[in-house]
Structure 1
Amino acid sequence: MQPQQSFLGIEFSPILLPRPGVDLGKWAVIACDQFTSQPEVWKAMESNIADSPSTLHCILPECYLGSPDEEERITRIHRRMREYLECGILRETEPGLVLVDRETPHTRRRGMVIALDLEQYDYRPGTKPLIRPTEQTLPERLPPRLKIRRNASIEFPHTLVLLNDSHTQVVDTLFSLFTNATPTYEAELLLGAGRVMGWFVPEGKVNKILRELLLKSLEHSSFLYAVGDGNHSLAASKSFWEELKKKLPPSQQAAHPARHTLVELVSLFDRGIQFHPIHRILHPLEPARFLEFLKPRSHIQVQECPSFEEMKKEVDEDAFRIGLVRQGAYHTVQFPPSPHQTITEVVQMAIDAFCSSHPNTRVDYIHGDETLRSLSSGEGTLGIYLPGLAKEKLFPLIETQGVLPRKAFSIGEALEKRFYLEGRKITPF
């Protein structure tokens, strides 16, 4: 690794891609943290893919976390990774990056798949690294991810990292230079999630221009990268590296592949990067109890709305208002503005306190307005509709306040999430 590459947080690694002939439509599957309240979506994908080569066999969908067969699933994941390497399902490129053009049902996003240096990333509060988390890391969410990482031979990333390149247009520049040739791969994605194309670019062609652009970007910001999606996955990669590093002599640490992790790097200012709120659902509970819990703790104002659309409109027009959805009834709740907190932080603290005093109630995090409405229609369920975050506020917020509360925003709707496709070896053998 060149010293300047480490300083800039990047590493040109060999990348694993499916060999010609593998059905990419079945190979690529959506991020494991999607459809957590809809296991039927995952079961349908499992039925469709069956035993075809697929990243589905190399991930643990979060809807299965804590299931009785979790350990067995993880063992199968590790076995399948080894099989894909040994049987030639995957082929390894020379060191480089992949430029990715993702067309979704809603928008289009362009990024680059590249390895980042975990020595330049830290999720501990109070640290100010080059690569920063955007949400609070919960230690209790790391063990299942670490179980997979510890014995994995390959990583398949769903992490999207946002690049603060308003002055340099890093990704756009690389696309203009390197995407005139035939794509390295092209695929229709499952679930009607659109299409994806990728162009592999070797290190020798892109190294100089990328380093120059990143150095120029760093002149305008104290940090370059903010984790958009996959905060806990990146934190697990970091935790594993810190574990492993203690067992390695210094001479082996710099070159060990687990020091780096593959991500998709996307410009914050890409038109395809749209911030959406992540809503909450509380269940089981009597919905009125949550309001009763809030009233003595906050000076709130509750107003009934005639429709879901009207509720959304009122919430989206006010940074300190939320919506409540329960069995076809809609209300808005106005909170007093706070100069030091976002509304998501205020509401999350209230939810945490409520769940602590009502241990039978759990919270689920929901992507998509219509999904929230649908899942809030059942008895004993309360949906909480939250406003979005303006993306131009993200880097200043992280700089001044540190991490945001967990699940503060989402990049795009569920079907816009990254699909697993490219991989990378994380063992030296």
Structure 2
Amino acid sequence: MELQKNTAHTLQTNNTDHTSYLPVASLRPADILLPDMGADMKKWAVIACDQFTAQPEYWERVEDYVQDAPSMLRLIYPEIYLNTDDRQAYTDRIAAIQNEMSAYLKDEVLKERVHQGYVLTVRQTSAGERIGLVAELDLEKYDYHVGTDAPVRATEATVKERIPVRVGIREGASLESPHVMVLMDDPKKQLLEALYEERMSFEKLYDTDLMEDGGHVTGYAVTGVHAERVSARLQKMEEECPGIFLAVGDGNHSLASAKTCWENAKKDLTEEERTDHPMRYALVEAVNLYSPSLLFYPIHRVLYDCDNEALINGFAEYLEKRDMRLVRTDNDNQADVTFLYKENEASYKIGNRAGHLPVELLQKYLDEYLKEHPKQELDYVHSEAAAEHIAEDGRGCAMILGAFDKSSLFDAIEAGGVLPRKTFSIGEDIQKRYYMECRKLAK
């Protein structure tokens, strides 16, 4: 499949600056830095900093494996240390990261391997093959606040208290590397899958196993006329999109921090300077929501020491006030939510929910419930078996949510603004993005 056949745009083939033909695109080509092809990329690539935050042994193994080799480990702040570092340790760690960034640039550990282009990524995980596109995202097109009509939006509620510490990491940095994954609603598979078919005609940038059972990843440079075709297709897809164009799947707090840094920086810039300033953009990986290997798992709820019957009745009343209904069903596989407590099990469908996800409605009800019962504790449990075990022991009421229909994600965001915290998990921890590509944050 040739990408050019999918677009009605007239494409420029000369080496003009991308801003001349992409005045409104949320995603655009970038100058992308990587180590040379001969580098040990297995030691270079490191998993997203917000993973394994309760497993220090994971990060200790990474440290032991990397040793003194050039590695993204030296350019990131694993969030496990945000919980243990005091203010001085936090400041010292950021200084060390920024010094290492400068050294990697000075010593040419990192070189510009892609000029005004994209990187097509092919990731092998236990869930299958996942195709992605590394590009610059215009932060002017992104808004994480509830009720926004921006083309790029958060999927889940942003915890604003988590932003300042991440702003401190980005401000003053000379480089960035993405673990942010944005989702595009492309059921026709017009873009990434078409690029994948052409991958053998692109320059291979890296081809490596990933440490700690992360699978394998290959990256290809998409430049020149190929990049122009991608840019035209992206712009056409966005123009045809009536509402949300991209949803932030992973890394929303990192992207929100980048947005905050840009809002701070642009106050001192002229309109002309704002147009193409590096801080206005953030490197991300775009993935098709409809990728078969992009698995969405529901996150279940457990409410400890509660009156199970009163909890269910309260939820029914909450829904009735909003012209919805809680309807009992005997088919657990078709249930929107199942309440478990000791030997009792009750499965329900939610009628007339008008695009709202069951988890959104349940969480909003639980938020109200907890205001009236502040001494009770709510927990979020990824494992259905673990939630069931808690209920069987009589320690709490488990609320088992049905399978997450990812095709409803964009409609749900439009209906509810953003989804509640802990709505779903995209894949398992070892399937998350590894840091690989870099981009300069200073001219």
Normalising by structure 2, we get a TM-score of 0.80
Identity %: 35
Residue aligning to 1:29: 46
2-side partners of 1:383 and 1:77: how far apart?
A: 43
Structure 1 residues 376, 270: CA separation in 2 closer, same or farther (over 3 Å shift)?
Answer: same
The answer on whether the counterparts of 2:174 and 2:440 sit within 8 Å (CA) in structure 1 is yes
Residue by residue, what CA displacement relative to the aligned partner does 1:256-287 show, whole Å, maximum 9, x if unpaired?
111111111111222222212235678xxxx4
Structure 1 residues 34, 372: CA separation in 2 closer, same or farther (over 3 Å shift)?
Answer: farther
- What aligned pairs does 1:395-414 form with structure 2 within 5 A after superposition? 395-414=410-429
The answer on whether the counterparts of 1:31 and 1:418 sit within 8 Å (CA) in structure 2 is yes
Following superposition, the deviation at residue 156 of structure 1 comes to 1.0
Corresponding position: 1:343 with 2:364: no
Structure 1 residues 182, 96: CA separation in 2 closer, same or farther (over 3 Å shift)?
Answer: closer
Following superposition, the deviation at residue 187 of structure 1 comes to 0.8
Residue aligning to 1:259: 280
Structure 1 residues 377, 295: CA separation in 2 closer, same or farther (over 3 Å shift)?
Answer: closer
Structure 2 unpaired stretches of 5+? 1-17, 318-329
Following superposition, the deviation at residue 199 of structure 1 comes to 0.2
Residue aligning to 2:294: 273
Corresponding position: 1:48 with 2:65: yes
Structure 1 residues 397, 379: CA separation in 2 closer, same or farther (over 3 Å shift)?
Answer: closer
Residue by residue, what CA displacement relative to the aligned partner does 1:33-73 show, whole Å, maximum 9, x if unpaired?
22223232222222222332221222222222232333332
Identify which of 106, 110, 115 aligns with 1:86: 106
- What aligned pairs does 1:358-369 form with structure 2 within 5 A after superposition? none
Structure with higher Rg: it is: 2
Following superposition, the deviation at residue 119 of structure 1 comes to 1.1
Corresponding position: 1:60 with 2:77: yes
What's the RMSD between the two structures over aligned residues?
Answer: 3.4
Residue aligning to 2:321: none
Partner SS for 1:15: strand
Identify which of 222, 242, 266 aligns with 1:201: 222
- What aligned pairs does 1:279-290 form with structure 2 within 5 A after superposition? 279=300, 287-289=304-306
Partner SS for 1:187: strand
- What aligned pairs does 1:258-407 form with structure 2 within 5 A after superposition? 258-279=279-300, 287-289=304-306, 294=311, 297-298=314-315, 317-321=334-338, 334=347, 337=350, 339=353, 341-349=356-364, 386-407=401-422
Structure 1 residues 167, 12: CA separation in 2 closer, same or farther (over 3 Å shift)?
Answer: same
Partner SS for 1:65: helix
Q: Which amino acid aligns with 1:17?
A: L
Corresponding position: 1:419 with 2:440: no
1-side partners of 2:217 and 2:367: how far apart?
A: 38
Partner SS for 2:419: coil
Structure 1 unpaired stretches of 5+? 301-312
Structure 1 residues 192, 381: CA separation in 2 closer, same or farther (over 3 Å shift)?
Answer: farther
Identify which of 246, 249, 254 aligns with 1:225: 246
The answer on whether the counterparts of 1:12 and 1:203 sit within 8 Å (CA) in structure 2 is no
2-side partners of 1:70 and 1:36: how far apart?
A: 16
Following superposition, the deviation at residue 208 of structure 1 comes to 3.2
Identify which of 186, 189, 196 aligns with 2:210: 189
Q: Which amino acid aligns with 2:57?
A: E
